[in-house]
Amino acid sequence: MPAGCGDAIHIRFVGNDSQHHNILIDGGAERRDIYDNGIRQALVSIADKKETIDLWIITHIDDDHIGGILRFIQDKSLLETFDLNRTTFWYNAWHSDYQVKATRSSQKSVEQGVRLRQHLKSVSHLGSQITDKITFDFHGANLTVLSPSAERLGALLDKWENSEAKLLKKKRETKKAAKSHDYGTLMSEFDTTLFKEDGSDVNGSSIAFILSHQGKAALFSGDSHPSVLCNTLRKHGYSESKKLKLDLCQVPHHGSKFNTNAELVQLIDCNNFVISANGYNKSSLPNKETLARIIQYCGQPEPFFHITHKNPRTSSILTADKGKVKAKIQFAEPGLSHLLFRL
């Protein structure tokens, strides 16, 4: 769903019990227009069908992932249509044994993580931490967790514990102008062999997983680090000669050049790459360099990039390469505000 430079994903499938099941991933940012045009529409659809939110995966605590869930908590009329006691939450929160006052401040990350944790503890059960050791059968759909590693999660929880009383100070995206983008650079001009990995502990704690169901498979990557994904994929027996076959791959961290390396692209066999970004954000995501790296290393003759937001900036990514690159960018189908995939 459109979530600015954030994630909001709805998965609906028929389980081995012949019932429809709903999995939500994140909720986009807390801004009302993003919430109204994104995750709220999925929630209304589930409510209208009188179905349940079976599983809600909260990948990590950045605003562009959990803000929409916090907005849902304040959306009383819609909230009352759901029994969240019936929802399983995957949420890697640091669990304190004291109360911190929940506010409606717009400060990011840890404060929002505290607000969400306290609400979920009051309405549902928060289970054990989710790491790359987990494989989960969910009504016939198999979820294989690739990230975070115990080490990356520990780094986040240490930071959370040390920051909760005074709250982690993060610069607000709204105070930053978008950097100049790299869309005017030709694909052939990028040196895709050079790579520097994202250094954020928050992103490194992101939950990423493979969802397999009835012979179809998709990778949902959140903002995870490629080194963690590659390490776990290799532990599962995948390699450059034995690739993970995917029908759909969510490009990590909204297409950031710091979260997709050549090794990760070479470990998967996929032709459809989804990028949740709008081009107008502090890092001008998606970075064109990421698309160049995927085109060079994915081994597909014509990869498809599916981008959640269509606007003058995202529509111009391949303009400079017209006729020189065999790749396509696709947006939502006419009449839809969201990308829709039927697998």
- Whether the pLDDT of residue 256 is over 70: the answer is yes
Strand boundaries in the chain, DSSP class E: 9-14, 20-25, 53-58, 88-91, 135-138, 141-147, 208-213, 216-220, 244-245, 248-250, 268-269, 272-275, 304-307, 328-330
Helix, strand, coil fractions of the chain, as percent rounded to 5 = 30, 20, 50
Angle (CA) 337 342 343, round 5°: 145
pLDDT per position as a tens digit, 202-225: 999 999 999 999 999 999 999 999
Amino acid at 100: V
pLDDT at residue number 109:
67
Beta bridge partners of 12: 22
Average pLDDT of 53-63?
93
The CA-atom distances, in angstroms, between 187 and each of 27, 33, 284, 292 are: 32, 34, 17, 5
Q: How many domains does the chain have?
A: 1
48 by Cβ neighbours in 10 Å (0-12 / 13-18 / 19+) ranks as exposed
Domain harbouring 312, CATH code: 3.60.15
> Quick check: is 274 in a domain?
yes
pLDDT at residue number 319:
96
> Quick check: is 4 in a domain?
no
Of residues 113 and 320, more confidence is placed in 320
SS3 298: coil
Indicate the pLDDT class of residue 98, thresholds 50, 70 and 90.
very low
Q: Which of 65-79, 172-186, 227-241 has the lowest mean pLDDT?
A: 172-186
**Which residues, in sequence order, are CB contacts of 131 under 8 Å at separation 6+?**
145, 148, 149, 150, 153
Indicate the pLDDT class of residue 178, thresholds 50, 70 and 90.
low
Q: Which of 79-93, 124-138, 139-153, 287-301 has the lowest mean pLDDT?
A: 124-138
Domain enclosing residue 239, as ranges: 9-330
Name the average pLDDT for the chain: 89
Omega cis (within 30) before 148: yes
> Quick check: is 3 in a domain?
no
pLDDT at residue number 111:
78
Strongest mean pLDDT among 85-99, 173-187, 265-279? 265-279
Indicate the pLDDT class of residue 174, thresholds 50, 70 and 90.
very low
Rounded to whole angstroms, the maximal C-alpha distance in the chain is: 60
Token pair recorded at residue 141: 């759909």
> Quick check: is 202 in a domain?
yes
> Quick check: is 340 in a domain?
no
Average pLDDT of 228-243?
98
> Quick check: is 289 in a domain?
yes
pLDDT per position as a tens digit, 262-306: 999 999 999 999 999 999 998 999 999 999 999 999 999 999 999
Average pLDDT of 28-51?
94
The alpha carbon of residue 8 and the mean position of all alpha carbons in its chain are separated, in whole angstroms, by 7
Beta bridge partners of 138: 141
pLDDT per position as a tens digit, 3-18: 989 999 999 999 999 9
- Whether the pLDDT of residue 144 is over 90: the answer is yes
> Quick check: is 339 in a domain?
no
| Residues above pLDDT 70, as percent of the chain | 89
Q: Which of 130-139, 223-232, 247-256, 259-268 has the lowest mean pLDDT?
A: 130-139
> Quick check: is 341 in a domain?
no
